[in-house]
């Protein structure tokens, strides 16, 4: 069994993938306590890229049926489940999941101190921007006397931005299609964009840049304090780094 402990239970050495614990030449993850590490994986448009990188790194997951959220993995000590990306920062912060994959924009929006950013995978790059309708290009320099209405899915980030600029404002939560709110329902659009095409198509012009975002690996701060889980997480991080830097 290479460098692995001989008092481990037999099922701690599955045959499906190489163990990433230091000094072990056996298969999968090896744990004297058989601790399970829980992964929060993003459903939707982020998942194909994350799935591909994980597979190249040696972590293969599959849906037992098309509507399944709990995935079957090549390693029994890794439990993986699909979640909406917006739920992942909170799940990791609460310790319900040990690690997760999610956009940096959602990590910043959530603002949880218990979440540690480990690795930028560089997948699904977007830009968080502020835009106004082309009919009001000087809105920020010459705001009306009433509070400005900001339409966004990033309520916290938008509020912080407006406060920093000293703008009297009201933030309204959108649930998609944010670009369509200005100029009737809102004065300002605070949204993410890949190419800027949708913003331009809706008669908007960008007036500020907030941040760039891409898919990141994040971890719970307490999980990183656990010696066994920390070793799992570090091996996962190292394997992913080798893939994205190859």
Convert 138-194 into a string of H (helix), E (strand) and C (coil). CCCCCCCCCCEEEEECCHHHHHHHHHHHCCCEEEEECCCCHHHCCCCCCCEEEEEEC
pLDDT of residue 35: 74
CB 211 within 8 A of CB 188: no
- The residue-averaged pLDDT of 112-122 equals 98
For the chain, what is the HEC assignment?
CECCCCCCCHHHCCCCCECCCCCECCECCCCCCCCCEEEEEECHHHHHHHHHHHHHCCCCEECCCCCCCEEEECCCCEEEEEECHHHHHHHHHCCCCCEEEEEHHHHHHHCCCCEEEEEEEEEEEEEEEEEEECCCCCCCCCCCCCCEEEEECCHHHHHHHHHHHCCCEEEEECCCCHHHCCCCCCCEEEEEECCCHHHHHCCEEEEEEEEEEEEEEEEECCHHHCHHHHHHHHHHHHHHHHHHCC
Over residues 233-243, the pLDDT tens digits come to 999 999 999 99
What confidence score (pLDDT) does residue 26 get?
39
- pLDDT interval class at 77 (50, 70, 90): confident
Determine the longest span between alpha carbons in the chain, in angstroms. Answer: 74
Q: What is the pLDDT of residues 31-63, one digit of tens each?
A: 445 578 999 999 999 999 999 999 999 999 999
Among 203, 130, 202, 198, smallest CA distance to 169 is for 130
Calculated CA dihedral for residues 90, 93, 94, 98, nearest 10 degrees: 110
pLDDT tens column, 175-191: 999 999 999 999 999 99
pLDDT digits (tens, 9 = 90+) for 217-231: 999 999 999 999 999
Domains of the chain in start order, with CATH, are: 10-125+214-244 (3.40.190.10), 126-212 (3.40.190.10)
The pLDDT value recorded for residue 1 is: 35
Tokens 């590490």 correspond to what residue? 37
Give pLDDT, residue 31.
44
What percent of the chain is predicted at pLDDT more than 90? 82
| Predicted pLDDT of residue 73 | 92
Model confidence band, residue 99 (pLDDT cutoffs 50, 70, 90): very high
pLDDT of residue 7: 37
């Amino acid at each position: 069994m290479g460098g692995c402990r001989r008092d481990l239970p037999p099922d701690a050495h599955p045959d499906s993938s190489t163990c990433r614990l230091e000094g072990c030449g056996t298969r999968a993850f090896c744990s004297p306590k058989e601790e399970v590490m829980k992964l929060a994986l993003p459903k939707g448009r982020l998942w194909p890229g994350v799935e591909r990188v994980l597979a190249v790194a040696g972590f293969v997951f599959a849906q037992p049926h098309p509507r399944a959220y709990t995935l079957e993995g090549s390693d029994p000590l890794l439990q993986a489940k699909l979640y909406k990306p917006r739920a992942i920062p909170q799940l990791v912060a609460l310790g319900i999941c040990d690690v997760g994959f999610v956009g940096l924009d959602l990590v910043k929006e959530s603002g949880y101190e218990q979440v540690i950013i480990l690795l930028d995978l560089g997948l699904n790059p977007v830009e968080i921007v502020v835009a106004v309708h082309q009919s009001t290009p000087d809105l920020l320099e010459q705001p009306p006397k009433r509070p400005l209405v900001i339409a966004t899915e990033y309520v916290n980030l938008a509020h912080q931005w407006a406060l920093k600029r000293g703008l009297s404002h009201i933030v309204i939560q959108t649930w998609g299609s944010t670009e369509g709110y200005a100029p009737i329902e809102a004065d300002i659009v605070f949204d993410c964009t890949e190419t800027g095409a949708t913003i331009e198509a809706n008669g908007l012009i960008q007036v500020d840049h907030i941040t760039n975002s891409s898919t990141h690996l994040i971890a719970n701060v307490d999980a990183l304090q656990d010696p066994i889980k920390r070793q799992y997480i570090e091996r996962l991080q190292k394997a992913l780094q080798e893939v994205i830097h190859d």
